[in-house]
Chains A and B, each alone.
Chain A
C-alpha cells in the first residue's frame, strides 16, 4: 500500500501495522473477527485522514482496516503517511491510528480455546467522544 504514497517531493514515509496477537488480558486468543459498519466507517475514516493532512501538513495519507475472521499474525490495520520531513509523518500516522481505534464503528470478537467467543468492549473510546461532544 505504500506505493500509493510514492511522491518525489516527500522525504519521509511512516507506516503502522496492527497485527492480531495471540493473547489479551491473560487469555490465549485463537483469532479475531472484525465487524465494520462500512458506510459510516468510510465517512469517518475520510474525516480522520483529512484532519491529519491539515493538522500535520502531510503530503499523503492512506489507511486500511480489514474485517471478517483474521488469524494470529495477520495484519488487521495499516496506516501510512508521508511528509517533507519525518516529524510530520510520525505525528500523522499516530493521529490516524488513534482515530481509527477510537472513532471508527468497528468491533472485534475474540476467539479462545475452550471458551465462548467474546465481543471486546472499549468503553473508554466512547466516553472520550461523548465528553468532547458535550463541551462543543
Chain B
C-alpha cells in the first residue's frame, strides 16, 4: 500500500490532551503520512499548546520516532511531558 493512501487510525488522548480535545479517543480517516504531521494537524484542530519538540509518541503501545509512517489501524498516543513521582 502506498504510504500516502487514506488510512483509518485511532488516536487515544491522555492527560491535558484529553481535556483539551474533550475526548479520550477518536478514529479518523486520513492521508497524513507521519506522526509529526498528525500532531501538527491535531495541534491546529484542538489548539494544543505544547510544541512538537516536547512531545513523544507511541504507536501500538511502543515508543517510536515522530518520523514514523502511519499505517492502517494504527493506535497513536501522543505523550506530553511526563511528570510522575
Contacts and interface: CB of A to CB of B under 8 A. Distances in A.
Interface of A: 18, 34-37, 39-40, 43-44, 65, 76-77, 97, 100-109, 119-127, 129-130, 133
Given A103-B82, A122-B81, A122-B82, A127 B15 contact: no
Given A126-B56, A130-B53, A107 B83 contact: yes
Q: Name, among A103, A105, A124, the residue most crowded by chain B CB atoms within 10 Å (CB to CB).
A: A105
Given A40-B63, A130-B53, A130-B56, A123 B15 contact: no
Interface string B39-67: 00000000000100111101001110100
Contacts of B16: 107, 119
B70 to A, nearest CB: 18
Given A107-B83, A126-B54, 15 more contacts: A35-B14, A77-B85, A100-B85, A101-B82, A101-B84, A105-B82, A107-B16, A119-B80, A122-B81, A122-B83, A123-B50, A126-B55, A126-B56, A126-B82, A130-B54
Contacts of A106: 82-85
Contact of B84 (A40, A100, A119, A121): A100
B56 A129 contact: yes
B54 A37 contact: no
Contacts of B84: 34, 36, 65, 77, 100-101, 104, 106-108
Q: Name, among B54, B77, B81, the residue most crowded by chain A CB atoms within 10 Å (CB to CB).
A: B81
Contacts, number: 84
A39 B79 CA distance: 13
Interface of B: 14-16, 19, 50, 53-56, 58, 61-63, 65, 77, 79-85
A116 to B, nearest CB: 11
